[in-house]
Amino acid sequence: MTIDELGKKAILLLGFGTEGQATYEYLRRKWPEKLLSVADRQTLGEFSDEVLHRIQSDPSVSLNFGPRYLDSLDPYHCEIIIKTPGIPATIEAIVRARKAGCILTSHSHIFLSNYPKDRIIGITGTKGKSTTASLIHGIMKGAGMPVELAGNIGRPPLPLIDMVPNGTFFVHEFSSHQLAEVESSPHIAVLLNVVPEHLDYYASFDEYAAAKENITRFQTADDFLIFNADYSVPAAIANRTKAQLMPFSVRSSPSPGCYLRGETIVRSTTRGEEDVMTVGEIQLRGQFNVQNVLAAVAAASLCDVPSPVIREAVGGFRGLPHRLESAGTYNGITFYDDSIATVPDATLAALEALGPSVQTLILGGYERNLDFSELGSRLPSNVKTVILFPPTGDRIWKAIETHSKNPTLPEPFFVSDMEQAVKIAYQRTAPGAICLLSPAAPSFGIFKDYRDRGDSFKAFVRKLSNS
């Protein structure tokens, strides 16, 4: 959908979070007096004073906030619905509106359809998106390229597209929700891994994987797909794409591609093989972060970035908050904040990265119908204490009881707040050992999001260190 087409239609912004607000600002800048409708299930009182002042002082906006926000989905009053990520397209009111002729689109689709494709690098995957996007952005910036970091880790891109210099690259992190309604794909697509996630939203894992596949579904033979050859779903998706392939692997040596030769990261292109850097130069812990670096090196290679620039940018990257982040050492105990670990695979990867020093593990959170049996079977014997949050804490403990292969089980503690969890961690973790927050579940309910959960953990680690 072109920008000109948008200007001729009656538009409803469905959802007014970060992305919805950015879409509003872009449309208002394009058409200062165009009538816009905005709907959100939150009440007006739940928005900041700044946001309220902006929209309430706009005489050309119609607002519908609160429990009856879906009443705005009236085909007689809106022709285009720009839906925010996370609102299911299967909601009955949306289905009715589409049947009546309303066009459903999204911020991401409008961006992909209206910015030069050869300047877009899109990254998706269940885990590692933000780190990989940040690595690619840092490498390109180090190479002197004009580049913006966009999406979940950066800013919504739409307001920027007519403000940045010509030729600017966008490195965009895409969630499955952001990809769901797109009908275009980026020139360079990066597919990291696809494991079960968001199963409270999607009807099945296959539906979730199909949304992820949109990162490459609309690519052509002139485009490139960088994918993790060590995971079955990305490999299967790669077999279906029309794009040129650039695999990366820690288990094999694809050519073209990026891989490990011993402890050396190697890139193989039409120009031959080249050693880029060693694993020891990477400040990030864990094999999963080596995979993220391989993906970033592959993207940089397609943009002709020299190896010394890659080495300097990657070597200087210290990681992002709440991603296996050291929260300090207190009373001899080292604490790690891995609050971003919202699936069991991520928790297992964190345990592998930190090794046998992990003695206490904090688990549990929001229910997304994930399978915890593998976590139970692979939980290492060095974990002596598990601290469990509701509502998934009970299911996680049952999975450990049922599937553990260790001669003795860790001792479980069920908690309802972070202060209680950290108190137990101090009591049960020996000096010299590690306490790891890596919940294998989302944060919603007790916490606002994974950031709030991680910040709460770090705050109580500091507060209780002298108690």
* CATH code linked to domain 3-108: 3.40.50.720
What is the percent of the chain where pLDDT is above 70? Answer: 100
Could you give the residue range(s) of every CATH 3.90.190.20 domain in the chain? 325-466
| Mean pLDDT calculated for residue range 232-239 | 98
pTM: 0.94
Using one digit for the tens of pLDDT, what is the confidence trace for 177-223?
999 989 999 999 999 999 989 888 898 999 999 999 999 999 999 99
Buried b (16+ CB within 10 A) or exposed e, 70-104: bebbbeeebbbbbbbbebeeeeeebeebeeeebbb
Q: Where in the chain is the domain with CATH 3.40.50.720?
A: 3-108
Binned at pLDDT 50, 70 and 90, residue 443 comes out as very high
Q: What is the mean pLDDT of residues 449-464?
A: 98
Q: In whole angstroms, what is the distance from residue 127 CA to residue 376 CA?
A: 20
Residue 234: pLDDT band by 50, 70, 90 thresholds?
Answer: very high
pLDDT for residue 199: 84
Residues 276-335 have pLDDT tens digits of: 999 999 999 999 999 999 999 999 999 999 999 999 999 999 999 999 999 999 999 999
Whole-number pLDDT of residue 200: 86
Output the pLDDT for position 74. 79
| Rounded Cα–Cα distance for residues 319 and 322 (Å) | 9
> Given this model, what pLDDT does residue 446 score?
95
The token pair at 128 is 């590692």
Which CATH homologous superfamily contains domain 115-315?
Answer: Mur-like, catalytic domain (3.40.1190.10)
Looking at per-residue pLDDT, the higher value among 77 and 109 belongs to 109
Give pLDDT, residue 72: 81
Q: How far from each other are the two terminal CA atoms of the chain, in whole angstroms?
A: 59
Q: What is the pLDDT of residue 77?
A: 76
Report the pLDDT value the prediction gives residue 463, as an integer from 0 to 100.
Answer: 97
Q: Per-residue pLDDT tens for 3-54?
A: 999 999 999 999 999 999 999 999 999 999 999 999 999 999 999 999 999 9
Average the pLDDT over 409-436 and give the result. 98
The confidence score (pLDDT) of residue 71 equals 87
Mean pLDDT of 75-90: 89
Specify the pLDDT at position 228.
98
Assign a CATH topology to domain 325-466.
Answer: Protein-Tyrosine Phosphatase; Chain A (3.90.190)
Answer yes or no: is pLDDT of 467 > 80.
no
pLDDT at site 382: 98
Per-residue pLDDT at 75 exceeds 90:
no
Residues of the chain with CATH 3.40.1190.10: 115-315
